[in-house]
Chains A and B, each alone.
Chain A
Amino acid sequence: MTAAPQAPPAGNWTTALRTRIVHVVPPGQALPDRQPAYVASWIYVFGVLTLASFVVVLVSGGVLAVGGVAWWHTSALGHFVNSVHLWSVEIFMAVMVIHLWGKFWMAAWRGRRALTWITGVIAFVASIGTAFTGYLTQSNFDSQWISGEAKDGINSIGVGGFFNVLNPGQMLLWHVVLLPVAVGLITVLHIVLVRRHGVVPPIDSEEGGS
């Protein structure tokens, strides 16, 4: 005979965290195996395409970080990984913008999904910042030219004093640490919110319209 389960002790932070997680995304909603019929459209695929390409961006960027600047400029494999990083970013930005177009025209902020929309916008803006600092860390004449042009824009908004686009070391660290972490965290929050509120239904369906 087994003992009856006891109530968790008050003030147990593990229990509080578990309760909080279950409250944010109820069991079964985190990784659902079924979706409403209206999700059977190609336009709903672009969110996960963005996520998949983001993974390729992170992995190829990690390999570039291991090899270093001299490696990606001089070896055949380095050129290949450098190109994989570039083209996965191109695809990432393209499918993210198509995802944005789709969500804009279906007014995806309906049904208490405003925070989902806002986190998506922040992820988009942070991704642009990450891509721009990526231009500056190529360590070639292209990055030299772009940083020379960018400094006037950055100075015109008054942040050049602590965000110096002519400083390759600072831009490299923003590109490989601060901004990817920011994009990653906001993406996790975005996905948690999508799982919490579900995929937005079409405008003319029963749940939508407000």
Chain B
Amino acid sequence: MPVLESAGNYVDWGVFHISVTNLVIIGVMIVVFVLAILLPFPKPHEVRESEERRP
């Protein structure tokens, strides 16, 4: 009989029961959300040119 693979790793915290994979995905999503707010958005070409021309 084949040996079944492990059902994965889980984090238990009170009533919370979540797989490590899902927890990592949620963490990555929060990081992406924060980066989307903090990282500067590239300016259009014409805006950059006009800013460079300005003294």
A residues contacting B by CB (< 8 A) are 40-43, 45-46, 90, 94, 97-98, 101-102
The answer to whether A40 and B32 have CB atoms under 8 Å apart is no
Q: What does the 1/0 interface line of B16-48 toward A look like (CB < 8 Å)?
A: 000000000100010011011101010100000
Could you tell me the distance between the alpha carbons of A46 and B37 in the complex, rounded to whole angstroms?
A: 11
The answer to whether B33 and A98 have CB atoms under 8 Å apart is yes
Q: Which residues from chain A contact B37 at a C-beta distance below 8 Å?
A: 41-43, 102
Size class of B's contact patch?
A: 10 to 19
B residues contacting A by CB (< 8 A) are 25, 29, 32-33, 35-37, 39, 41, 43
Given contacts A40-B41, A40-B43, A42-B41, contact A97 B29 (CB under 8 A): yes
The answer to whether A46 and B36 have CB atoms under 8 Å apart is yes
The answer to whether B29 and A102 have CB atoms under 8 Å apart is no
The answer to whether A98 and B32 have CB atoms under 8 Å apart is yes
- B contact face: mostly helix, strand, loop, or mixed: helix
B42, closest chain A residue (CB): A40
By Cβ-Cβ distance, the 9 closest A-B pairs, closest first, are A42-B36, A43-B36, A40-B41, A98-B33, A41-B41, A94-B29, A101-B33, A43-B37, A42-B39
- A contact face: mostly helix, strand, loop, or mixed: helix
Question: What distance in Å separates the Cβ of B33 from its nearest Cβ neighbour in chain A?
Answer: 5
Q: Which residues from chain A contact B33 at a C-beta distance below 8 Å?
A: 43, 98, 101-102
The answer to whether B36 and A45 have CB atoms under 8 Å apart is yes
Given contacts A40-B41, A42-B41, contact A94 B36 (CB under 8 A): no
Could you tell me the distance between the alpha carbons of A45 and B41 in the complex, rounded to whole angstroms?
A: 10
Q: Which residues from chain A contact B41 at a C-beta distance below 8 Å?
A: 40-42
Could you tell me the distance between the alpha carbons of A71 and B33 in the complex, rounded to whole angstroms?
A: 38
Known: A90-B25, A94-B32. 17 other contacts (CB 8 A): A40-B41, A40-B43, A41-B37, A42-B35, A42-B41, A43-B36, A43-B37, A45-B36, A46-B36, A94-B29, A97-B29, A98-B33, A98-B36, A101-B33, A102-B33, A102-B36, A102-B37
Q: Which residues from chain B contact A102 at a C-beta distance below 8 Å?
A: 33, 36-37
The answer to whether B43 and A41 have CB atoms under 8 Å apart is no
28 contacts between A and B (CB under 8 A): A40-B41, A40-B43, A41-B36, A41-B37, A41-B41, A42-B35, A42-B36, A42-B37, A42-B39, A42-B41, A43-B33, A43-B36, A43-B37, A45-B36, A46-B36, A90-B25, A94-B25, A94-B29, A94-B32, A97-B29, A98-B29, A98-B32, A98-B33, A98-B36, A101-B33, A102-B33, A102-B36, A102-B37
